[in-house]
Every structure is written in C-alpha cells, then in structure tokens.
Amino acid sequence: MGVWRKLADLITGGTDPFDCPDGDCPPGHRVDDAEFAMALIGLGAKMAKADGQVTGEEVAAFRQVLKAPPAFEASLMRAFHLAKQTTLGFEGYARRLARRFRAHPAILEDVLDGLFHIAKADGRITGEEMDFLDRVADIFGFTESEFDRIRAGHGALNGDDPYLVLGVDRSIADADLKRAYRRIASQNHPDMLIARGAPPEMQRVADEKMAVINAAYQSILAARGLKPAAA
C-alpha cells in the first residue's frame, strides 16, 4: 500500500490521526498509524521550512502532495503548522518512513518526488533545501548516484546529463539503453504513481518527471544517430 493511500485510509476511517502526534492516542487508535501520519506530514512541512521561510507556494504544494478530505483539512493544516516551526526532528520522520517502506524503494522515491515538488514550488531550490533532500535520500537508503538521478529527473542539476537522468553509463549498449529506458519509464509513469496510492494532484509531478526522462532518452538517441521510436 502506498504512503498516500495509507494516509487517506487513516484520515477517512473515522478517527483523526493527528490527535495523538506524541503517541498519546485514544482507545482503538494505533500508535504506529499516528506516527506514520505525522512522519509523512512532518517531513513535508519541514521541507517547506528548510530554507528558513515557508512561502504560500510551498504551502499550496504541500496541500497538493498531501491532500486530505474536507472534513480533515483543518487537522492536516494544524499538523502542518505545528511541524513547520522548525526543521528539527526531520531525520526521525525520515527514518520512520524508511523503516515502514524499506522493501519498497519506489514508494520512498515517490516521497522524495513530493518533497522536490514542495521545494520547487517557489521557483528555485536553495542550498539548504538541497541539503535537506540529500539527507532524506541518504536515510531512505539511496546511493549518491541514485539521488543524482532523482534530482536530475527534476531538472535540479546544472548541465543535466541525459545518461544520469536514466541512471545508465555512457558505454551502455543500444539494446540495453532501450531496456533501461523502458524500465525507468514504467516506474515513473503517472499511472504507476496513482496505482501506488498518490492523489491525482500528484500527476503533475509525474508528468514533469516523465517529460525530463523522455527528453533525456531522445537526446541520447539523437547523439547516437539512432531513429527515435516508441520504446
């Protein structure tokens, strides 16, 4: 089950998961569920705070990434405003998500994509925000090269290398290149994101990432003198 679908199940199940962020939950309310909800919400809120200020664009991006039903919107934003006061504690939130989804790296990459969406909302990613993202990626278990691929997919590297976007070596054979493209395109297709439980509003994030991936693939094909074709 994806992180967003899990959160949606929690906040539509008749119990407010934000009522016990410190684990002091009412009867029948699971502590680990409350911790999960606060980890996801807290990480997004602290991403918005990473450069010292929270802009209106970042708040709007947060609400796109973590969309609550109308009945729980106030609870969601209450938790957001509480968590955004400081970036302290973000590593603990990241570790909780890493433990919960350690066997599902695609879901953890979805979370990073959401954090990038928040970071980019005001038109730029500051050094402090990139440090935040780098640290979260490390806690999630992504290698340095994997994180470079992820941020390249968000256009967050100067002089983006199309091979880096696809996560392949420059010496890769043409046939292997096509297979690698198919694999990364399948993993990052908007339909797959929705299938993992992300809200429809996150499709824009997936669309932007797929555009970068497709452009990188077409760039490599052109450089190799290969005929562009549907992969």
User: If you write DSSP's letter for every residue of 9-73 in order, what string do you get?
Assistant: HHHTTTS-GGG-TTS-PPTT--HHHHHHHHHHHHHHHHHHHTTS---HHHHHHHHHHS---GGGH
User: If you average pLDDT over residues 102-123, what whole number do you get?
Assistant: 87
Is the separation of the CB atoms in 110 and 2 below 8 Å? yes
Q: Is 192 exposed, middle or buried (0-12, 13-18, 19+ CB in 10 A)?
A: middle
Containing 220, the helix (H) or strand (E) segment is: helix 203-224
pLDDT, averaged across the chain: 79
Q: Tens of pLDDT along 96-111?
A: 889 888 888 888 888 8
Q: Tens of pLDDT along 23-63?
A: 444 444 343 455 666 788 888 889 988 988 888 999 888 88
Question: Does position 71 have pLDDT exceeding 80, yes or no?
Answer: no
Question: Does position 231 have pLDDT exceeding 80, yes or no?
Answer: no
Please identify which residue in the block is written with the tokens 């909302």: 121
- This prediction has a pTM of 0.75
3-state helix, strand, coil in the chain (%, to 5): 70, 0, 30
